[in-house]
Structure 1
């Protein structure tokens, strides 16, 4: 096994695998990341773990505390709101561009996601709804073909996963956001750029309001 590779059949880098563990909530915000323990967990050399921690620190998923080593970075509600304020502008831009670029095939893909989101709400499945929510936003960014906005949004995505997950599990949240997503889909599919941008910005603003109502502790467990 070469340095930086995982168990047989796993061709992901140590950084990719550690990132996946953090995003899946297997490592909670504030949890210490000990090189020796991670090397054993990932079955790689400590030098590979060290390089992975450097990479994830640059992505702001990990932070280094002086004389205490590395830990999973804690993103406070205030920081999350600030990032969503930036996302509101970028997501609105992507919705506008998607409406300008929309094809009938693209519109059908968006409508299909919307129908699946409606089914998830009817079935009371917030986790499925959350996954479809992410798929919808990703699809809109792909249709928008605005690579700078896409890169900036993806850079914030990992840091906001925990907050999105907690919000998705809030009772009634899926039913509240569904009409907003359907409005976005309708506007993009119709090629109405002004309406698409407005609907998207209104939706993200509602997310900001919902986060502002959060009373979660600073070091709350993922999905707790």
Structure 2
């Protein structure tokens, strides 16, 4: 069921549905978010919608424009690069902590995701690869046990999700990033925090270098 035709109730429900619609591209950058329309689409009260939009504004996904109401906040290429620069530092920390704290079950899980990423690249399935990419980064955060860092990264990911999706669709990008992700997993499995941090930072440096291509790409 499409996010914009789902039934909500509370403000928390509306937050989840609007956030998902933004992440999945159902609501485009700069698209107006009219309270009355959202109330009808989601089957929620105007008060619940208003509260949800305030929360999403605080998360950086929505912005309020004077005399025009709310709209989906567009993230510029320059801001996307800054977000990745912050991610480089914080995710590097998480990779190092994951190398120190991972259990054998954790390592098996990372290896399983890595194997899936290899298969997706071999099959040319960029959508599966993109989802596995997201899962791998999320798994590293979870294994790291850095709850504050995880919260920061989840918020940044939400703001940058459209650029990340377009990046995943660039021809040949998966083949470039696959060995970078495999190096991250190998370093964590070797329980080498310095190598894991360096691998994560190198991967995100590559993302930063590639983002200008996303800005000029016709991919939607």
- TM-score class, shorter: over 0.9
Tell me which residue corresponds to 2:71: 71
What SS is found at the alignment partner of 1:170?
coil
User: 1:206-217 counterparts in 2 under 5 A?
Assistant: 206-216=206-216
CA distance in 1, matches of 2:124, 2:145: 33
User: 1:1-224 counterparts in 2 under 5 A?
Assistant: 7=7, 13-216=13-216, 224=220
**Structure 1 position 10, deviation (Å):** 10
Q: Which runs of 4+ in 1 moved over 2 A?
A: 6-12, 212-217
Aligned residues: 215
Unaligned runs of 5+ in 2: 1-5
Spell out, residue by residue over 1:73-130, the C-alpha distance to the aligned partner (whole angstroms, 9 max, x if none).
0001100100100000000000000001122221111111000000000110111001
CA distance in 1, matches of 2:69, 2:191: 51
TM-score, length-normalised on structure 1?
Answer: 0.91
Spell out, residue by residue over 1:160-202, the C-alpha distance to the aligned partner (whole angstroms, 9 max, x if none).
1101000000000011100000000000011011110000000
Of the structure 1 ranges 100-109 and 25-34, higher mean CA displacement relative to structure 2 is found in: 100-109
TM-score, length-normalised on structure 2?
Answer: 0.93
Once superposed, what is the RMSD of the aligned Cα atoms? 1.9
Distance 1:215 1:18, change over 3 A: closer
CA distance in 2, matches of 1:9, 1:158: 23
Higher relative contact order structure (alpha carbons within 8 Å, sequence separation ≥ 6): 1
**Structure 1 position 12, deviation (Å):** 6.2
